[in-house]
Structures are given as structure tokens and as C-alpha cells.
Structure 1
Amino acid sequence: MSIEQLAETAQAMVAPGKGIIAIDESSATIAKRFAAVGIENTEENRRAYRELLLTTPKLNEYVSGAILFDETIRQSTKDGVPFAKFMADNGMIPGIKVDKGAHPLAGCPGELVTEGLDGLRERLKEYYKLGARFAKWRAVINIGESMPSGTCIDANAHALARYAALCQECGLVPMVEPEVIMDGDHDIETSYEVTEATLRSLFDALYAQNVVLEGTILKASMVIPGKDCEEQVDVEEVAEATVMCLKSTVPAILPGIVFLSGGQTDEQSTAHLNAMNQLDKLPWPLSFSYGRAMQQAALKLWAQDMTGNYAAAQKTVYERAKANGLAAQGKWEG
């Protein structure tokens, strides 16, 4: 795929008023989500649940694409249409999570580095054949006493950049996700400093690995105080801090930035995105790539009655997509 095609795909991912739904939970994570609402964790239930999400009527009005898990990109609708084909036929771009998860970083207690570079080129080629046109890799940055270390930030930035270069070589738009974790009692200033250092390191690494920024999407965490911080701040302060941090670190040539919800409530994640898009002159579109914040309400409904509540569950998925699509334009009214 040419640089022009990569850039075109990246721009389509952040088309005005559209964002990405993340349904790439690993088997362990989906098991926890299912257990919480009393659904048996079988392959068929996972397939049926992902079908419910992807076949939501009119989803493509507000959702440009979906991040799938390895199992999901190989599955089909109950009518036998592969999910990736169903999405492409309905104007949505199939994406794939390709990292192998965060593992302890040797020599840095309490810190993590994401693995999965071995054999990645072959996997990316296969995913392209299966219909994927973008990929996702998540790094985990914890804040704590003397954390994160420069070693942790740089190791993760280097891995993200190598992954991104391989994606572009194989015709996939890389979504780079350095998630600064909300757990902890740190204040918003600490969150800002860590996010800024992380993004600087990331873009330095992307340049060093010759990654074409026009064909890359950033999946960012918001600059937000830790969950246990006594000083919580209002929506406007999160929006202003996040945008200021991004403006000081992210090149304007990037096609767009999507946010993860990262432990925020559905309402918070939408309100923060909306407030950011009401600020003046942003160099890039700011949109969403939410998982839990798009699915939680629907999963609870579906769990109560898988057949009877199917349409109602899909309606909540559409409503969450619409709210976030409006927020991506600063037009959400709450």
C-alpha cells in the first residue's frame, strides 16, 4: 500500500464526527467482563456479542472502524459473512490488535513493556489478507513512586515505533497507544508531565524508525488526575490540560488523535472529548476509540436476556456512538 493510501485510510478513521469502537479485549479480559454480568465465556458467546456490536443498525454514521481481536477477525456473522467483510461492506474499516500484552520490564520493578515484535511481520501480512487495514499496539505507563523511569518510557516508545514501521511496510495504518494509567493518587500536574515525556519519546522514536506520520494515528490517554487523587478537577481543566499537552508534543501533520476512555465513566469520557473539541483551533481532529465506554451499558442489557434484549442493547450502542460522534465535533449537549 502506498503512502497516499495509508494517509487516506488514516484520514477516514478520523472523518468528521466519527471514531473507533475498540472490541479487541483479550480472552482473559472478555472473560472478566462476561463473568461480571453472568455470561458464560464460550467462543460462541464471544462471537455473538461481537456480532451484536458490529451489526448495530446505522453504526457507521458515527463509527469509522473497529479494533478486533485475533479470534474475532477470523469469525463471521451468523449468516456466514466474515466480520471484516461485513464491516468493509458497511463502510467501516477493520482493525486488529497485534501486541502480546504488557510484561514486567526487567531491571525496572513495577514497570511494564509491551511484547509481540517477534514474528510480527508475518502476522501483519496475514491480517492484511484477512481484511485488516489498521492495527493497534498498546504500551502501559504506570505512575508511582519514582515511576515511570526514562528506561520504561523509552523501551515502550522504541517498541511502538518498530511496530509502526512494520505496519506501514505491510500496508496497515499503525495506531500507537502509549496509555498513561489512571490508577494512583497523582495529581493532574504529574499526569501532564508524564504524558508529555511519553509523547516526546514516542515521536522521537517514530522519526528514528522512519515512520510516516501522515499514515499514523495516535491513541492517547487524557491528562487526568489519578483515581485516588484528593483533588479531582472539572471537565474544562482536563480538556485544557490535555490539548495543551498534545499541542506541545504532537506534530500537526498527524492525521488525527483518538482517545481511550481508560477507566472514566461513559459520561466523563464523552464530556471531556466534547470540551476539547470546543477549544479553539486544533491542529488535528480529536475523536474517540472507546471500548468499555461504548459497550458497558449494552453488555448489561444483553446479559439479562440475550434474545429479548438484542435490539435494545444495539440501540444503546448506537446512542453511545452518536453521543461520542457529536462530542468529536464539540456538539454534544449532555
Structure 2
Amino acid sequence: MSTYAQELIATAAAMVAPGKGILAMDESKATCDRRFEKLGIPTTEERRRTYRELILTTPDLAKYISGAILFDETIRQSTQAGIPFVRVMQEAGMIPGIKVDLGAQDLAGCEGEKVTEGLDGLRDRIAEYYQMGARFAKWRAVIAIDTNIPSETCLVANAHALARYAAICQAGGLVPMVEPEVLIDGEHSIDRCYEVTERTLQIVFEQLRLNRVEFDKMILKPSMVISGENCRIQASVEQVAEMTVRCLRNNVPVTVPGIAFLSGGQSNERATAHLNTIHTQFGSQCPWAITFSYARAIQQPALDYWHGDDANIPIAQQLLSHRVKLNGAASIGQYTSEMERESVGV
């Protein structure tokens, strides 16, 4: 048994506590800069730091957020007053997490497919992050759907990397978030998405078993089973919820403590509605805790309003607080579309 066994079990349970989700704010420097450029915000480390401080110091954030995934730059930063972000989170009762993959690169021999890199040196990086206060990590694999993809080569390569990462995390004291994202890009139907998601999960858990990853000490961060964004026929909220739960029930071991969905390019409202419907219609069928780990579907309204102007921070924080409140409600099946229209001071 791992030196960290009890700590890992306790951390995993706390990450998916009822009514709370995990905030993904682990955008790489390049991704964050692209979002800033669209809004005319200077792409400097100080502006990124200010934006991350805006998020982490939002009042009552910990009421609906159990933990946040940070980027390497962010976990080393502090507030303007000099308080390390990790300490801000710990004192608020949120668990610091860290993105440890180094991004997706072209998969040799497989046109149009990617494999995520970052296993080299991972053990040492995890040891450093643990010392800095991180208690969970994230690694994202990206699976594209097209006429002849994904290939088995792509699925196995990404699943093997996810499993090696997860095993190294557990040995180093971090709960691994295992994120096999089936991309929403494309014209594929929800049935095709189901087929790909099912095969992806089968291979991921096969590799996790082979690499002796302990399922009770990890969190799964999957995409929902959903129509491609350019598909002519878009599945209903109810259909997405039903097919997502069916796929998970058929492929995810009951010993996994929690599933925290990524939003994957869904609109803010749609991501929240899907999560809520999973709970209201199928919650009793789910042996795992079900919650969210959204990025843009939580951050975007706040980023758009802040726009790089610090005078806008108070209302930007209200917008962020509103979205986490709605997703917190959805994570226990208590969200309604009327809640979207609650006043947030704008």
C-alpha cells in the first residue's frame, strides 16, 4: 500500500464533496495569452497573475469549489500583497491542484491525431509540487473524431500515458485526475461520440489496471457523450444525460470515487443544464459522486467583463461567483434555468 494511501483517499473524497466542483484554471501561458489577445489585454505575466488573483480571491469561492487546477506559472505566484496563491487556497479550504502534462503533440504515423507528452522528469516535478502544497494533478489526453479516427494506435498511446502518469502521481502523493477528452469538434452524431467514448474508456481502464493504478485514489475527468458541434442534429439535454450515464455505467469501475466532467466547449448554460439533468434523472443510478471541473464555462463571463481593467474586478468576481453557484446547484440536481437570470450587479 502506498505511503500516501489514506491521504489520497481523503483528498479524492474532498475533491468531489456534495455541492462542490473543481475549477480548471490551468490554461497554459500560450492559451491564456490567446484569450487575452482576443480581448486586447496585454499578454504579460503580471496581467496573468492579476487575473488568477481575481479568480482565487473571489468571495465565497470555496462554498462551491473544492479545489482548483493551477498551471506551473500560477502555483509559483502570489497575490499583490505577497500571499502565495497556494496559501490563499489552503486558508479558504480549497485543495491546490496542478496540471502536469506538457501538452499534446502530433502522433507520429497517425495523421490528425495527438498524443500528450510530459512523462520525462514527472516523478521529480510531482515531488516538488507536493512540497509546494499541491495534493492532486491533472493530465489531459485529446481524442479527435473524424471519418477514420480515432485509431487504436492513438487510443492506446494516450491511455498508456494517462496510466503511467496516474501511477507516478499516486506514488508521489497526488490524486490523479485522469482526463481523456473526446473532442466536440466535428460533424459526428451523438451515437458516434458514444462509440468513441466507450472505446476510449475501455482502453483507459485497461491501461490503468495494467499499471496498477488504484481506482479508489483517482478522479475521472471525462467529456460528456454529446453531438459534434457542427452536427446537423443536436441531441437534447435529456439524451446527452442518458447516453453519458449509460456509457459511464458500462465502463467505469464503481470503486472510482468521483467523476468531474469537463465542459469541452459547451456553452456555459448548456454545460450546467447537462450536469443538472444527469443528477435529476439518473443520479440514483450513479455509484460515483458526479460533479464538474469546468474552465471556460465558469471563467468566461468574468474574463469578458474584467477585460484587463482592474476597476472591473468586483463585478467580474460576482459573475464568477454566480457561475460557480449555478454549477454547485447543478452538481446536486438543484439548478433551474431561472437561476441564470438572477441579478449579479451588472
The TM-score, its normalising length taken from structure 1, stands at 0.98
- Indicate if the aligned counterparts of 2:223 and 2:262 stay in contact, CA closer than 8 A: yes
Pairs aligned (count):
333
- Report whether the alignment pairs 1:331 with 2:334: yes
Deviation at 1:172, TM superposition (A): 0.2
- Report whether the alignment pairs 1:110 with 2:109: no
Deviation at 1:308, TM superposition (A): 2.1
User: Map of 1:155-304 to 2, 5 A cutoff?
Assistant: 155-278=157-280, 279=282, 280-303=284-307
Distance (whole Å) between structure 2 residues aligned to residue 10 and residue 229 of structure 1: 36
Distance (whole Å) between structure 2 residues aligned to residue 298 and residue 38 of structure 1: 15
**What is the match of residue 154 of structure 1?**
156
Give the CA RMSD over aligned residues.
0.8
- Indicate if the aligned counterparts of 2:4 and 2:171 stay in contact, CA closer than 8 A: no
Q: Which residue, out of 306, 311, 315, partners 2:314?
A: 311
- Indicate if the aligned counterparts of 2:66 and 2:94 stay in contact, CA closer than 8 A: yes
Task: Give the secondary structure class of the aligned counterpart of 2:109.
Answer: coil
**What is the match of residue 71 of structure 1?**
73
Distance (whole Å) between structure 2 residues aligned to residue 212 and residue 188 of structure 1: 31
Distance (whole Å) between structure 2 residues aligned to residue 308 and residue 86 of structure 1: 22
- Indicate if the aligned counterparts of 2:23 and 2:295 stay in contact, CA closer than 8 A: yes
Distance (whole Å) between structure 1 residues aligned to residue 83 and residue 244 of structure 2: 40
User: Map of 1:33-182 to 2, 5 A cutoff?
Assistant: 33-182=35-184
Instruction: Name structure 2 gaps, 5 residues minimum.
Output: 338-346
Deviation at 1:333, TM superposition (A): 1.0
Task: Give the secondary structure class of the aligned counterpart of 1:64.
Answer: strand
Distance (whole Å) between structure 1 residues aligned to residue 11 and residue 89 of structure 2: 14
Q: What is the identity, as a one-letter code, of the residue corresponding to 1:326? A: A
Distance (whole Å) between structure 2 residues aligned to residue 199 and residue 255 of structure 1: 16
Deviation at 1:228, TM superposition (A): 0.8
Identity value in percent: 59
Distance (whole Å) between structure 1 residues aligned to residue 88 and residue 23 of structure 2: 15
Task: Give the secondary structure class of the aligned counterpart of 2:221.
Answer: strand
| CA deviation profile, 1:122-175 (whole Å, cap 9, x unmatched) | 111011111110000000000012100011001100000000000011100000
Distance (whole Å) between structure 2 residues aligned to residue 26 and residue 309 of structure 1: 24
Task: Give the secondary structure class of the aligned counterpart of 1:89.
Answer: helix
Task: Give the secondary structure class of the aligned counterpart of 2:141.
Answer: strand
Distance (whole Å) between structure 2 residues aligned to residue 209 and residue 18 of structure 1: 30
Q: What is the identity, as a one-letter code, of the residue corresponding to 1:153? A: L
Q: What is the identity, as a one-letter code, of the residue corresponding to 1:10? A: A
Distance (whole Å) between structure 2 residues aligned to residue 191 and residue 116 of structure 1: 27
Task: Give the secondary structure class of the aligned counterpart of 1:129.
Answer: helix
Instruction: Name structure 1 gaps, 5 residues minimum.
Output: none
Deviation at 1:307, TM superposition (A): 2.7
Distance (whole Å) between structure 1 residues aligned to residue 223 and residue 319 of structure 2: 24
| CA deviation profile, 1:9-54 (whole Å, cap 9, x unmatched) | 0010000010011111011100111011111010000000000001
Distance (whole Å) between structure 2 residues aligned to residue 292 and residue 170 of structure 1: 29
Q: What is the identity, as a one-letter code, of the residue corresponding to 1:237? A: Q
| CA deviation profile, 1:199-219 (whole Å, cap 9, x unmatched) | 011111111111111110000
Q: What is the identity, as a one-letter code, of the residue corresponding to 1:182? A: I
Deviation at 1:265, TM superposition (A): 0.4
Task: Give the secondary structure class of the aligned counterpart of 1:204.
Answer: helix
Q: What is the identity, as a one-letter code, of the residue corresponding to 1:300? A: D
**What is the match of residue 342 of structure 2?**
none
| CA deviation profile, 1:45-101 (whole Å, cap 9, x unmatched) | 000000000110000000000000000000001111111111011100000000010
Deviation at 1:281, TM superposition (A): 2.6
Distance (whole Å) between structure 1 residues aligned to residue 285 and residue 334 of structure 2: 15
| CA deviation profile, 1:212-261 (whole Å, cap 9, x unmatched) | 11110000100001111111011000000000000000001101000111
